[in-house]
Every structure is written in C-alpha cells, then in structure tokens.
Amino acid sequence: MRTHTALHILCGVIWRDYGVSVTGGGMKPLSARMDFELESMSTDFADEVQKRINREVEAARPIEIGSLPREEAFAIPDLIRTKINLLPPHIVKIRTVDIVGLDLQADGGTHVANTSEVGTIRVVGHESKGRINKRLRIEVDP
C-alpha cells in the first residue's frame, strides 16, 4: 500500500509540475518503477523529483476514496491518464483516489490514508526506455 501510494505521489507530481503522462509502471513491495512520456532524463531531474515527492509526503495530504458517475469521470481530462476509457461499458460508477490537493485518479487499488504514512521515498535510478519514454525507479523504507 505504501509503495503503491508512493507511485501515485510520483505520477501526481510529474503531472502537476511537468505536465507529463505515465506510459507504464510496475511494483514490488518497497520498490517500484514508472515510465513517463519524457524526451530527456538526468540525475539532476531525478534529484529534483525526489525533493518534490518528499515534499508531498511531508505535506501529510489526506487520501480519500470516492466514486464518480462514469460520465462525470470521463469529463475530467486528467483521469484519461489512467486509461479509464478501457473500462467495460457496464461499469457506471468509477472508483477514484484523491490525494487531496495533489492528484485525483480513477483507481481500484489500496492506499494508505495519508501521504505521511508512505515515509521517505528515494529515487534510486533512472534509465531510457525509448526516445520519448524514460523510467524512474523508487524505493520506500521497510
């Protein structure tokens, strides 16, 4: 749950501060990777991202689970990031995860109740996965 929530914080910050979408991701307990639609990546950028995501941990933002009617959910452009349009048509209510003040997404996963519970997030690596596809690796404390 902490690692999954850390990924939300990461994609929320990258979206809010750089306007960049996620192209993929993966997770194991305590470590995760996320790929972004970025042309360039550097150690400086990774360091800056680490600072920014830990600011969100320190901000102790509440995380709220909600739901939206499908039509309303589709009307929020940011939710498209999460490939909500792949949902089967019979699903009329969309479950949402709101990191209050940072990021609202459609999501079915489990999360901690406050960003402070994630603890320090470390950006432990970055690599190129293609011309407009760059990966960040993160870890959280045991």
Applying CB under 5 A, which residues contact Zn ion?
97, 107, 109
| In contact, 89 and 74? CB cutoff 8 Å | no
Indicate the residue among 25 and 109 with the shorter CB distance to Zn ion: 109
Instruction: Give least dist CB 71 to Zn ion, A.
Output: 22
Indicate the residue among 41 and 96 with the shorter CB distance to Zn ion: 96
| In contact, 133 and 36? CB cutoff 8 Å | yes
Instruction: Give least dist CB 97 to Zn ion, A.
Output: 5
Indicate the residue among 45 and 116 with the shorter CB distance to Zn ion: 116
Sheet of 134-140: strand order equals: 22-28, 31-36, 134-140, 121-128
Instruction: Give least dist CB 28 to Zn ion, A.
Output: 15
Of 54, 21, 25, which is closest to residue 38 (Cα–Cα)?
21
